[in-house]
Amino acid sequence: MPCPPRAKALQLRVSPQWIKRSRFAFSRKTAYLFSMRPPFLLLALLGLAALALSGCSTMSKSKPLPPTVAYVDLDRYMGNWFVISNIPYFLEKGKVASSDFYARRPDGKLVNNFTFRKDTVDGPEKTWEGVAWVINPETNATWKVQFVWPLSITYKIFALDPDYTWAVVGTKDAGLLWVLARERSLPADTYAAVLAELEVKGIATAPLTFVPQPLSQSQPQAQPPK
């Protein structure tokens, strides 16, 4: 596309020395990004993708976003939550026995740690340390979650057991979902009721996939629908 006259004038004032210095600075930043140890590079890429998708969603006319729960008691919500099922995506591929841990911080934000094992429930545990903060204090059901500064994604609590024994959380449009529970398993009838509640809110449950957890024979795991 031809440049407008003002842009051409600006181009004429760009010296070869400036271009050389800019290329060097860009190459150093690129090298730094790709030298970061996993999972930080992947998290950075995920954050960039999330920002791009959120920008597109604001420009398009789509169906209303799924509602969150009316209110979350943060003190009751804190603690450990096991991932029963999720909508698969690349960052959690191969991760099993996964869980989220939340705790209050002195600065008013929340600890948000993700613990998992790779490929097998008998493997060594790894933890990604993150931070979260509430952005809707009226409900406490919408947060921002951050694992790599300055990137963050929206975290919503779409469903929550009155006794805080299970919860369903996800991204702003529920494109990604996690069914969480205080125990490593949920009874089949409870899991079915959770899915039914999501469907009433217009949230698709078919993509949910079971996440393996170390279970005893006395703890049958509810299976997502096929």
Q: pLDDT tens for residues 72-120?
A: 999 999 999 999 999 999 989 999 999 999 999 999 999 999 999 999 9
In the chain the first and final C-alpha atoms are separated, in Å, by: 49
- What is the value of pTM for the model shown? 0.72
- Mean per-residue pLDDT for 157-178? 97
Percent of the chain with pLDDT strictly greater than 90: 62
Strand partners, 148: 151
User: Quick one: tokens of 22?
Assistant: 């800019």
Which of the pair, 16 or 114, is modelled with greater confidence?
A: 114
Write the CB contacts of 218 (distance below 8 Å, at least 6 apart in sequence).
Answer: none
- How far is 215 from 184, CA to CA, in rounded Å? 7
Exposed/middle/buried for residue 181 (C-beta within 10 Å: 0-12, 13-18, 19+): buried
pLDDT at residue 31, as a whole number: 39
Write the CB contacts of 134 (distance below 8 Å, at least 6 apart in sequence).
Answer: 74, 110, 140, 142, 143
pLDDT at residue 62, as a whole number: 67
pLDDT in tens, 170-208: 999 999 999 999 999 999 999 999 999 999 999 999 999
pLDDT at 134 over 90: yes
- Mean per-residue pLDDT for 16-20? 44
pLDDT at residue 40, as a whole number: 42
Which domains are seen in the chain, by residue range? Answer: 74-210 (2.40.128.20)
Which of the pair, 181 or 24, is modelled with greater confidence?
A: 181
pLDDT at residue 76, as a whole number: 98
pLDDT at 6 over 80: no
pLDDT at 67 over 90: yes
For residue 12, give the amino acid letter. Answer: L
Which of the pair, 16 or 173, is modelled with greater confidence?
A: 173
pLDDT at residue 27, as a whole number: 39
- How far is 208 from 87, CA to CA, in rounded Å? 5
Which of the pair, 158 or 1, is modelled with greater confidence?
A: 158
CA distances from 168 to 16, 37, 208 (A): 55, 30, 11
Tokens 């919503």 locate to: 156
Percent of the chain with pLDDT strictly greater than 70: 68
pLDDT in tens, 204-218: 999 999 999 997 433
SS (H, E, C) the chain: CCCCHHHHHHHHCCCHHHHHHHHHHHHHHHHHHHHCCCCHHHHHHHHHHHHHHHHHHHHCCCCCCCCCCCCCCHHHHCEEEEEEEECCCHHHCCEEEEEEEEEECCCCCEEEEEEEEECCCCCCCEEEEEEEEECCCCCCCEEEEEEECCEEEEEEEEEECCCCCEEEEECCCCCCEEEEECCCCCCHHHHHHHHHHHHHCCCCCCCCEECCCCCCCCCCCCCCCC
pLDDT at residue 215, as a whole number: 74
